[in-house]
Structure 1
Amino acid sequence: MTRAARSDYAAAHTRPFESRDLDAAIAVWRDAAAGCQSAVFPLADVVSALATDHVALVAERDGALTGAVVAHLQQDHAWILRFGVLPDARAEGVGGALLDALVDGLTARGVWRVSALLADGEAGAEELGAQQFTRRDGVSYHHRLLHGVGGGDVVERLGGRYIPSGLFESLAGMEREKALIERRVILPLARAELANHHGVRAPRAIILFGPPGTGKTTFAKGVASRLRWPFVELFPSRLTDGGGQAAELREFFAMVVEVDEVVLFIDEVEEIAAARDGRPVTHAITNELLKLIPVFRERPRHLLVCATNAIHSLDTAFIRPGRFDYVLPVGPPDEAARAAIWRNYVAQITDQDVDIERLVEATALFTPADIDFAARKAAQAAFERAVFGGTPNECSLKPDATRATVDDFLRAITETRPSLNRAIVHEFETDIDTYARI
């Protein structure tokens, strides 16, 4: 593919990296590196770079990421920390197009030298060579871990990552849940000596339960961010079908306990811990999980966070006291929480005068995820008005285009289907009375 063709491809299929791309980008890097040595720069450095001075891009086709690159800037010098393209996309020239777009972005920032440090056999060497990067042989790389988390390679093999600091503090609304998690979970772990002095036992495992979209996953990531521990997620749906699930689960937990400190998150835990129904496979994986949790609990600075939308469906032996220190409800946002969430989005999206109370009243059965969708929908409406506000074929941004108005927000709300209804809320309140341990 010629430079001009790559430029056309880059314009059509590459875009700046966004925070929502992190999980998909990690998956791309993992798949691109299959069979290769571990990357020189750990994932923690990549995540840290995304919070500082960087240029990062992704390649996308049909809504799915096919490549991603992150470069850290040091004045006029940039280091490529992570680069990868899915195997099927390499033949299409995605790697070259992505690097061309990166070089253009770095040049615009005044960078004149770009470097990449790769392990032998690490993904990306071929693309870099084709893009006029000069290879220097005979270099000896030395590093020493002075402090931090042991088992960093294990964290990467598990698909773990370090959540940028400040996530927990930045959560808008949900102050009741934040305060509860801060006091019961985070503080005893973050200030272990003081907790021990007062006879407080730091939690080893908790359950977060509540309707879909209420922020359980975000809270789990927020705990990892606040503690500055790596975040590892076990996806029940990725365990193979059949009798091998229990063995896979056992192997996964065996790797997790090698890490010095970690937040292990299992979303939709009911998939592997539902009430046993007589099927041997169901019995096997649930029994295995019941045996693994006590072993996990023996490790200090390890926290298991399980999330479920249907706590009443869990096996009674799974949720009994002794396995989980707390069973915490994460429910729909009340009026104060919705107001805080809306103020946060409105401040990001518009400079117009917006009546927050009207938005709060209109979103009584909305979850935080529903509010996020409606807010983005309002922003999209204002954006399209700016692009197409003149003649039907005009596609240039109008500098004086009005940003999102209260009518845009209200219209977006009416076009958003709420995740909750009265029956779901009532069931959640009943579950609190039956299962919550606060």
Structure 2
Amino acid sequence: MTGWRIRDFHASDMDAILHLWEQSHTSGVEPVYALAEVLASCQKDHAVVAVHGETVLGAAVARAAHDQGWIVFFAIEENWRNRGIGSGMLASIENRMAPLGLTKLSTLVPETEHRVAALLNSGFVDRKHLRYFEREIPVQRQEMGLLGELGGRLMARNLWSAVGGMQREKELLERRLVLPLANPDLADQYGVVPPRAVVLFGPPGTGKTTFAKAIASRLEWPFVEVFPSRLASDPRGLAGALRETFLNISELEHAVVFIDEVEEIAAQRQGEPPSPLQGVTNELLKIIPAFREQPGRLLVCATNFIRALDTAFLRHGRFDYVIPIGLPDEEARHAIWTRYIPSEVAADVDVDALVGATDGFSPADVEYAARKASQQALEKAVYSPAYSGADARTPPVAAGPSTADYLAAIAETRTTVSAEVAQDFREDIETIARL
């Protein structure tokens, strides 16, 4: 069999490329690049095919990255190997990319691929002791525009580990939410249906929003916060704007959707005539079942007042779990204090004393006390008699706040969570929580 030739890729060759890729895929040699990447480069970058008559025998596809070229696909029909077709395609693709001024042409080959004669004959060198690493980007380019319109974003990848302490809550969220959502095939094997919606409840300032963001970070899914107060000004009304927002969210492949203070739009429905918000509550109750039908999504609602929620809102079938998020434990308070104490004085501050003095403090309370201590220490240093009359721009010799400064600020801090609220929370755990 002779008479083959090489020409540029045509759009009509797409089926042949698909056939060659599938042939490589099923021959025991896993292609390095995904089919979508190969097809995209065929259309946008550089591609040649070898043909006999009108039949495509092989293909070489490459793209340029700065001054280096990468061959992303190289395949030949089994019956046409060892006829010089591979070397011819490699030479042709290199000639077509020559005007780009490339300094190097490279390709990645699976370890199981031993048919590399064309590469060696074309002057390619087998670089030993190299390893290939890759990471999937969680949000594709085409989703970024929609994500921006929704006000969503990707959270920092280390946010989950940055949540210090609260090990009981973190372990619960890891097991109930992250595990089945991150491994849907494994969950299906065990008959586990990944959760679609959860409620986080607890006193104000206990970090429910932080946990919602941390879940998104752990899953590497976009985080989209829905603000009913912002939607209220929409000409379609709050219910219509809420419905439209969730329709747009459905176009994302994955998402953690967060509604804070959900009691504002899902409070107990009562009274005659019905309040305007009852229509919003009804709309939300319709949205949740439709949301649950879509895989790759998690709705997280947070509330400070779990008792205020409509009973129909919390029933089984809408929310998989109702999870309490309480005040930070000792380990968590230690982590929070460490975050706010300047590194210059960290070695001299008795953090354990601060942790012990802030039992019953929320994360927001600890932050307030820490910032208050820093401000008071700064003012004390700048306006002390030793520096009176000095240039205020000249920093004092004192390094920063001391243990005494922090303890004084703690004593002046009014805690967010009263004893009565804490007691109500403990009762709600017994009667409402669903773990």
Unaligned 5+ segments in structure 2 are 1-135
Provide the residue aligned with 2:366 in structure 1: 371
How far apart are residue 243 of structure 1 and its match? 8.0
Residue 325 of structure 1 pairs with residue 316 of structure 2: no
In structure 2, relative to structure 1, the CA distance for the partners of 1:349 and 1:291 (3 Å cut) is: farther
TM-score, normalising length: structure 2: 0.64
Q: For residues 314 and 160 of structure 1, what CA distance do their matches in structure 2 show?
A: 26
Residue 404 of structure 1 pairs with residue 401 of structure 2: yes
How far apart are residue 355 of structure 1 and its match? 2.3
How far apart are residue 425 of structure 1 and its match? 0.4
* Matching residue within 218, 239, 243 for 1:250: 243
Q: For residues 225 and 387 of structure 1, what CA distance do their matches in structure 2 show?
A: 41
Provide the residue aligned with 2:220 in structure 1: 228
> Is the 1:326–1:437 contact (alpha carbons within 8 Å) kept by the matching residues of 2?
yes
How far apart are residue 347 of structure 1 and its match? 6.3
> Is the 1:349–1:404 contact (alpha carbons within 8 Å) kept by the matching residues of 2?
no
Amino acid at match of 2:179: L
Q: For residues 326 and 312 of structure 1, what CA distance do their matches in structure 2 show?
A: 16
In structure 2, relative to structure 1, the CA distance for the partners of 1:432 and 1:147 (3 Å cut) is: closer
Summarize deviations over 1:348-381 as a string: whole Å, max 9, x none.
4623422233212321221011101111222223
Residue 384 of structure 1 pairs with residue 368 of structure 2: no
Residue 156 of structure 1 pairs with residue 143 of structure 2: no
Provide the residue aligned with 1:422 in structure 2: 419
Amino acid at match of 2:162: S
Q: For residues 235 and 348 of structure 1, what CA distance do their matches in structure 2 show?
A: 36
After alignment, is 185-194 or 237-246 more displaced? 237-246
Aligned length: 294
After alignment, is 277-286 or 401-410 more displaced? 277-286
Provide the residue aligned with 1:74 in structure 2: none
* Matching residue within 158, 177, 191 for 2:183: 191
> Is the 1:209–1:311 contact (alpha carbons within 8 Å) kept by the matching residues of 2?
yes
Q: For residues 408 and 257 of structure 1, what CA distance do their matches in structure 2 show?
A: 51
Provide the residue aligned with 2:293 in structure 1: 298
After TM superposition, list the pairs within 5 Å mapping 1:210-225 onto structure 2: 210-225=202-217
> Is the 2:138–2:220 contact (alpha carbons within 8 Å) kept by the matching residues of 1?
no
SS at match of 1:328: strand
How far apart are residue 385 of structure 1 and its match? 4.1
Provide the residue aligned with 2:102 in structure 1: none
Q: For residues 193 and 360 of structure 1, what CA distance do their matches in structure 2 show?
A: 43
Residue 201 of structure 1 pairs with residue 193 of structure 2: yes
SS at match of 1:161: coil
Amino acid at match of 2:258: F
> Is the 2:197–2:319 contact (alpha carbons within 8 Å) kept by the matching residues of 1?
yes
Q: For residues 167 and 392 of structure 1, what CA distance do their matches in structure 2 show?
A: 45
Summarize deviations over 1:363-403 as a string: whole Å, max 9, x none.
12210111011112222233334544512453134363232
Residue 283 of structure 1 pairs with residue 278 of structure 2: yes
SS at match of 2:165: coil
Provide the residue aligned with 1:263 in structure 2: 256
TM-score, normalising length: structure 1: 0.63
How far apart are residue 167 of structure 1 and its match? 0.8
After alignment, is 376-385 or 304-313 more displaced? 376-385
After alignment, is 356-365 or 311-320 more displaced? 356-365
Q: For residues 138 and 265 of structure 2, what CA distance do their matches in structure 1 show?
A: 36
For the pair shown, the structure with the greater C-alpha radius of gyration is 2
